[in-house]
Amino acid sequence: MKVAVVTGPGSVELRDEPRPRPGPDDVVVEVAACGLCTMERRLFSGTKRIYPVAPGHEAAGRVVEAGEAAAALDGSPQIGDLVTMDLLTRCGTCRMCRRGRSALCKQPQGGALSDGTISMGAGLSEAVRVAAAQTFAVGEIPVEHATMGEPLACVVHSVRLSGFRSGDRVAVIGAGYMGRLHQAVCRAWGAASVGFVDPSEARRAEAIDAGADRAVAPDELGGPNGWTGGHDVVFVTAGVPGTVEAALDLCDDGGSVVLYGAFPAEVTASVPVDRIHHHELSVIGVYSQEPSDWQTAAGLLRSGVLAPDLDRLVTARYGLADVAVAMDLASSSPVYRVLVG
């Protein structure tokens, strides 16, 4: 079978790989599509230099083989099921896993292809082997939606750790793909309002078109007509300097700031410690997702409640043979999600 391998900046090739066979507790999934996220963009652009590497962890497809133990279990995905897949590896043994915080597993993630090439999901391929426990049937929904299981699980994780409750007023800094998924989940769970802060006029307009209550540029936050206070939860999905301070300014008493987007290692923030104390503000870091978040994400996908939002977030789709074209588009243009498969 074919699998995409990034061999250097701007270079990706399709390599031959033995077709996977399931172990007793595994299934083999014929990949229908795989999303290109920030990791793939960074690998292709050269800002993340790990080569050669087989990326792709936002994948979905149909089960075509099942191991004997997996096939016999009620509730396990069966042959023919459309599934979204958790392609992360968790050891289950380290202190973080034992605490139920497997998003922070201490064991290095990833695996290897048959020739030793590093695998970071390897979902940009014709088929993958995955533990049945890490596949989630989603019913007969568009496969484009099913590919969003992994980022949706990350957002479920974010919203869960934020302490969000129905009726909360939400602000999102960053109206890109992950910001829009936060909007979709919070709306589905009963947010009183969702607003955005983003420098892009086009992104702001698209967020409003998708149902946002308000969308402003960063320079509109201050002044007499500014948009400060009055929010219970603020999600920072764009990790750039100044966003932590802006997020705290958006909070009402008892509010939470969730740092979802990755920040450059050198970025620091000056936070008003006394204000955090007296107004019971919280600053929460979130990273990745956990098995319970997948259960919720799969349920949201199967229900169809997010379908209109997810439709808006598919920028383009290419076949596996055109993976280089897809990666070039995803790494060089403003996109939501480019899919391959």
CATH value at residue 226: 3.40.50.720
Same domain for 270 and 191? yes
* Assigned domain for 335 exists: yes
Model pLDDT, residue 85: 97
* Assigned domain for 44 exists: yes
Residue 223 has pLDDT above 80, yes or no: no
- pLDDT, tens digit, for every residue of 293-308? 999 999 999 999 999 9
SS3 11: strand
The whole-angstrom separation of Cα 261 and Cα 37 is: 13
Same domain for 201 and 138? no
Mean pLDDT, the chain, whole residue set: 96
Same domain for 126 and 6? yes
How many helices (H) and strands (E) the chain has is answered by 12, 18
Q: Taking Cα atoms as reference points, which of 60, 186, 181 lies closest to residue 125?
A: 60
The whole-angstrom separation of Cα 184 and Cα 156 is: 11
Average pLDDT over residues 123-140: 97
Q: What residue type is 307 in one-letter code?
A: A
Give how far the C-alpha of residue 7 lies from the chain's centroid of Cα atoms, to the nearest Å: 24
Provide the 10 A C-beta neighbour count for residue 277: 9
The band of 225, judged by pLDDT with boundaries at 50, 70 and 90, is low
Same domain for 280 and 165? yes
Express as a percent the part of the chain with pLDDT over 70. 99
The whole-angstrom separation of Cα 296 and Cα 53 is: 30
Model pLDDT, residue 53: 97
Long-range residue pairs from 88-94, CB within 8 A, at least 24 positions apart, any chain? 88/57, 88/121, 88/134, 88/288
SS3 201: helix
Strands (E) in the chain, as ranges, are 2-8, 11-16, 26-36, 53-54, 58-66, 82-85, 111-112, 118-119, 127-131, 135-137, 169-173, 193-197, 214-216, 231-236, 251-259, 282-285, 314-318, 337-340
The whole-angstrom separation of Cα 4 and Cα 7 is: 9
Residue 153 has pLDDT above 70, yes or no: yes
The band of 88, judged by pLDDT with boundaries at 50, 70 and 90, is confident
Q: Specify whether the CB–CB gap between 132 and 66 falls below 8 A.
A: yes
Least confident of 1-15, 115-129, 214-228, 275-289: 214-228
Q: Specify whether the CB–CB gap between 95 and 72 falls below 8 A.
A: no
Beta bridge partners of residue 105, listed in sequence order = none
Model pLDDT, residue 224: 62
- pLDDT, tens digit, for every residue of 171-204? 999 999 999 999 999 999 999 999 999 999 999 9
* Assigned domain for 301 exists: no
Q: Specify whether the CB–CB gap between 67 and 18 falls below 8 A.
A: no
Beta bridge partners of residue 13, listed in sequence order = 5
The band of 110, judged by pLDDT with boundaries at 50, 70 and 90, is confident
The CA-atom distances, in angstroms, between 1 and each of 16, 106, 174, 276 are 6, 32, 38, 55
Domain range holding 78?
2-148+313-340
Same domain for 247 and 171? yes
The CA-atom distances, in angstroms, between 51 and each of 40, 55, 116, 121, 337 are 12, 10, 11, 14, 23
| CATH number of the domain encompassing residue 30 | 3.90.180.10
